[in-house]
Amino acid sequence: MQKLSTRHLLGIKDLTPDDIELIMATAREFKEVINRPIKKVPSLRDVTIANVFFENSTRTRLSFELAQKRLSADTINFSASASSVKKGETLLDTVNNILAMKVDMIVMRHASPGAPHFLAKHIKANIINAGDGTHEHPTQALLDSFSIRERLGGDLTGKKIAIIGDILHSRVALSNILALKKQGAEVTLCGPATLIPRFITDLGVKVSHDVKQTLAWCDVANVLRIQLERQQIKYFPSLREYSLYFGINKKMLDDLNKEIIVMHPGPINRGIELSSDAADSHHSIILDQVENGVAVRMAVLYLLAGQN
Amino acid sequence: MQRKLILSSPLLEITISRLCQELIENHQDFADSVIIGLQPRGIHFAKRIHQELEEITGKIIPFGFLDATFYRDDFRRRELVKAKETKIFFVIENKRVILIDDVLATGRMVRSALDAMTAFGRPEKVELCVLIDRIYNRDLPINADYVGKKVNTLDTEKVLVELQEQGHPLDRIWLITN
């Protein structure tokens, strides 16, 4: 039987196209499971998972926790704001203390890029990266791909996907670019020049600064949040100006006269990157993304746990 | 490796007809009965039984497949098994369920299927129908109610079911000895 080529999910970078297919196929079956009258399976009943969040999160954390509960795993939660990290304990010490309580898997979010990669070198448990700074957020990219496949039917070969907004600070953007390219999709990034990293075209993507042209080209628009909390300098004159040049509203989508899918990883800055009428329109699959997130995370947890 | 043919056409068709008659004897018009084939290999045999039963009775009998991968007792102990599709579009609450698989050996797959089935309701009764029963290979106290053919096999032997639906030229069931 196929299994994943890796023991940890640190980033999409380490996954092979076959790994992605296996995760997608397994997630489809878990989606069926979470729509049953009884939504729980006993697979991970002898597995203990620690959710270690050094950075705030609502969706990802709830989604992981729910996925773990649906798989019957035992879970413990840890958030940095209420812990000994405040007293100066190092990352490795904190995690080793958690592991001493016989934990099998760690789901970690950390503000520093590479934090889960560092841990993977020093500990035995399986590690799932739930976002490391501005680097990667692999489960988000997997659930985005799953949601696009579900809506378009079939795989992503040759599909045109635009990622619009703050590419520079977005871990969702990098993971999505890698995941989409591995599945054979065409990717265009769109945003102000200051928010698009230099040399990003080396990843095989196109860059545009015209949101209308990009929307006319793409089958799917994945709109990203402006990450004000990560911006230490001004990258654009004002939010109002950003919204005028790069914001998407329902009229723009309707004027395209074609089927277009709008996605957003959340939380939405309503009225900045996406207007309320666009976010709530029939083009939007934002809430499907949230539902699929649980199924995809169940698949990742199940496949990683099954390797022991 | 040695292969011995244990069942093939036309005896296979006769066996399927006999199983259908036995099922009709117990379920009459199938008013409260449903058929569930077990993934991955039981579904083709289950489809044949279902088709023949519908032809004989002239009734529509609810039919689904169940994948019990997530309920297996060897997770993290053996190689991962890829999950297959589950399709049960009916409620099994208070129904008489006929579970169908191709080969019954250790009984562990049936145990997981019984567990998996409870996610769809509490059936009134569950019966098991299998094409081949490897009578002395059981690990669990599980037996089939309807058996196509009983075979006496060693643990080291294997039963290979080849049906045309799986892409084989002929319907043949083999006993394989290494």
Higher pLDDT, A197 or B82: A197
A26 — contact with chain B (CB < 8 Å)? yes
User: A260, A183, A256: which is closest to A223 by C-alpha?
Assistant: A260
Q: Find chain B residues with C-beta within 8 A of A72's C-beta.
A: none
Indicate if the alpha-carbon torsion angle A181, A183, A186, A191 is positive or negative: negative
Nearest CA in chain A to B82: A1
Question: A16: helix, coil or strand?
Answer: coil
Q: From the CA of A66, how many Å to the nearest CA of chain B?
A: 16
pLDDT of residue A82: 66
Residue A243 dihedral angles phi and psi, to the nearest 5°: -60, -35
Mean pLDDT of B90-94: 88
Position of tokens 């592991």?
A99
pLDDT of residue B83: 85
pLDDT of residue A83: 67
pLDDT of residue A266: 85
Is A303 in contact with B80 (CB distance < 8 Å)? yes
Tell if the CB–CB gap between B75 and A43 is shorter than 8 Å.
Answer: yes
Nearest CA in chain B to A27: B83
Tell if the CB–CB gap between A36 and B119 is shorter than 8 Å.
Answer: yes
pLDDT of residue B80: 81
Burial of B29 (C-beta count, 10 Å sphere; 0-12/13-18/19+): exposed
Count the Cβ atoms, other than its own, within 10 Å of residue A33.
23
Query: Which residues touch A237 (CB under 8 Å, ≥6 apart)?
Result: none
Q: Which two tokens stand for residue A247?
A: 């914001």
Tell if the CB–CB gap between B121 and A305 is shorter than 8 Å.
Answer: no
Q: From the CA of A27, how many Å to the nearest CA of chain B?
A: 9
Mean pLDDT of B25-45: 92
pLDDT of residue B121: 87
SS (H, E, C) A75-138: EEEEEHHHCHHHHCCCHHHHHHHHHCCCCCEEEEEECCCCHHHHHHHHCCCEEEEEEECCCCCH
Query: Which residues touch A286 (CB under 8 Å, ≥6 apart)?
Result: A262, A263, A264, A266, A268, A279
CA–CA gap between residue A119 and residue A110 (Å, rounded): 11
Residue A141 dihedral angles phi and psi, to the nearest 5°: -65, -40
- How confident is the model over A194-219, as pLDDT tens digits? 999 999 999 999 999 999 999 999 99
Kindly report the pTM of this predicted structure.
0.88
Q: Which residues of B touch A (CB under 8 A)?
A: 67, 69-72, 75-76, 79-86, 91, 115-116, 118-121
| Mean pLDDT of chain B, nearest integer | 91
CA–CA gap between residue A264 and residue A190 (Å, rounded): 14
Tell if the CB–CB gap between A42 and B71 is shorter than 8 Å.
Answer: yes
Tell if the CB–CB gap between A305 and B76 is shorter than 8 Å.
Answer: yes
Mean pLDDT of B5-19: 92
Nearest CA in chain B to A25: B83
Positions of A marked active-site: 59-60, 87, 109, 137
Per DSSP, the residues of B114-146 read HHHHGGG---SEEEEEEEEEETT--SSS---SE
Q: From the CA of B83, how many Å to the nearest CA of chain A?
A: 6
Low-confidence ranges of chain A (pLDDT < 50): none
Residue A104 dihedral angles phi and psi, to the nearest 5°: -95, -30
Q: From the CA of A140, how many Å to the nearest CA of chain B?
A: 22
Mean pLDDT of B37-59: 93
Q: Find chain A residues with C-beta within 8 A of B85's C-beta.
A: 28-29, 32
Residue A148 dihedral angles phi and psi, to the nearest 5°: -65, -45
B119 pLDDT tier (thresholds 50, 70, 90)? confident
